[in-house]
Amino acid sequence: MEKQLKREEIYNGKVIHVVKDEVELDDGSTSMREAVLHNGGVCIALKKDDAYFLVSQYRYVPGKEMLEFPAGKIEKGEDPDEAILREVVEETGYEAKDIRKLGCIIPTCGYCSERIHLYYAKAGAFVGQHFDPDERIELKRYTYSELKQMILEGKIDDAKTIALMYYLEANEIDA
């Protein structure tokens, strides 16, 4: 275990909070840790008939169009189980039914506190999409076998989507 001795606030934004901590190590020595604090996210494999919904959108940081399972940020104080119900409607327009939480991943444990909660559900009633003003999302559908092949070909390189595919297979959902 490491004990936090001192914290320096570097940046506090809409999505992330960056800090630099001085910590005491187990042998009594000290070190510095830079950390990105994040409220976390949710991601869902939403199935309708024989195919899953994915969203295609340009992602600024990697500088390219990404293909991902629908996902979003957890608001401060929001429960992940509530966040996924909100996000699935916002991005796909469909309500989720028969929802199952499959797991949780920590995508970048070396410097970020983000945890992404992974879900599976069937598409319920269509109620309409509600994008954020700065979102440009195209909704697409692929079968499980198409998604596996796209991952192997490097056409899908989003970590949460790849992890959620593993959880689908491990839980024998379409495996």
Question: What is the per-residue pLDDT across 7-43, written as a single tens digit (0 to 9) for each?
Answer: 999 999 999 999 999 999 999 999 999 999 999 999 9
Q: Where are the domains of the chain?
A: 3-37, 41-170
CATH 3.30.360.10 fits 41-170, yes or no: no
pLDDT at 107 over 70: yes
The model's pTM: 0.94
pLDDT at 174 over 90: no
Give the start-end residues of each E strand in the chain. Answer: 3-12, 17-24, 30-37, 41-48, 51-59, 64-68, 71-73, 94-105, 116-126, 138-142
Question: What is the per-residue pLDDT across 58-102, written as a single tens digit (0 to 9) for each?
Answer: 999 999 999 999 999 999 999 999 999 999 999 999 999 999 999
DSSP conformational letter for 154: T
